[in-house]
Structure 1
Amino acid sequence: MDDLRIRTAGPGDVEAVLAFWAEAAEGRSISDDPEGVRRLVARDPEALLLAVDGRGELVGSVVAGWDGWRCHLYRLAVHPRARRRGVASALLAAAERRFAGLGGRRGDAMVLDSNEPAHHAWRAAGYAPEPQWSRWTKPLTG
């Protein structure tokens, strides 16, 4: 997309991001609520990257989290009408620039096993699954 702009999310973007994820993202995350997104934006204002088209519409997102040790990528999503136009590539390139500027050396991504189209996008961006690792999770309660 020639008119694509990548920018960071701000507090005023919370509701639009949640509506976007409900439409464009595969699956729902335990953190997909206003408080979770507000907390992310407040803690690390440069982590949530948004792709906006020439009309100002949100067409993509990725969370580029940095904990000082590792680079983590979450919630890469592209609106169905904007797919196969370079939006995911632009978001990942912006995330990787962020990581490089912070001193990060390797990015890892959380990708649903069942999301085959996402596997293609991640491979095209140079990422590969690491079969020796498995993901272990535990929902945390406050």
Structure 2
Amino acid sequence: MSDLHIRCADLTDIEAVLQFWREAAEGTSISDDYDGVARLISRDPEALLLAEGDGSLAGTVIAGFDGWRCSAYRLAVHPSCRRQGIATALMEAAEQRFIALGGRRVDAMVLEANEPAHHTWAAADYHREDHWRRWVKPL
């Protein structure tokens, strides 16, 4: 990608982001709707990072920090743009954000069945912690 630019999403990006996730992201979340993304952007305007290049959305990551933990969600790169360093650029931007906020460690949510994602995260020096499991309760 010749002109990759990473920026924070704003409320005008929500529909494009939701469409992008339907095409490029694995799995869905209970928050994958207009209201969920609007709440994210309104609460933390710098959390949703977008990678744009050649005039279109090429990738996303949510770099959330609650004052205690740094969490990465929705790292996704459009299938036609993969293997061009976009995920690496997004995670570097997320990590710089976390460092600036005083974060100490990044937790990433990665689907168990998404083998290509496992390789992406491992290549970025992340490792799996098998002694933890996620417990959830929809509200």
Structure 2, unmatched stretches of 5+, are none
Question: What do residues 2-26 of structure 1 show as CA deviations (whole Å, max 9, x unaligned)?
Answer: 3110000001000000000011000
Alignment of 1:118-137 (within 5 A): 118-137=117-136
CA offsets 1:20-66 (integer angstroms, 9 cap, x no match): 001100011110000000000000000000000032x0010000000
Q: Which consecutive segments of 4 or more residues in structure 1 shift more than 2 A?
A: none
Aligned to 2:26: 26
How far does residue 112 in structure 1 lie from its aligned partner after superposition? 0.1
**Partner in structure 1 of residue 7 of structure 2:** 7
Partner deviation per Cα, 1:92-114 (whole Å, 9 max, x = no partner): 00000000000000000000000
Rounded Cα–Cα distance in structure 2 between residues aligned with 1:2 and 1:95 = 21
- Aligned counterparts, 1:107-126, within 5 A: 107-126=106-125
Distance 1:35 1:15 in 2: 11
SS of the residue corresponding to residue 133 of structure 2 reads coil
Aligned to 2:86: 87
Displacement of 1:131 after TM fit? 0.8
Cα-Cα RMSD: 0.6
TM-score where L is the length of structure 1: 0.96
TM-score by length of 2: 0.98
Alpha-carbon separation, structure 1, partners of 2:6 and 2:52: 6
- Counterpart-to-counterpart distance in 1, 2:22 and 2:2: 26
Could you tell me which runs of 5 or more consecutive residues in structure 1 were left unpaired when the two chains were aligned.
none
Identity %: 65
Q: What's the counterpart of residue 104 of structure 2?
A: 105
Q: What number of residue pairs does the alignment pair up?
A: 139
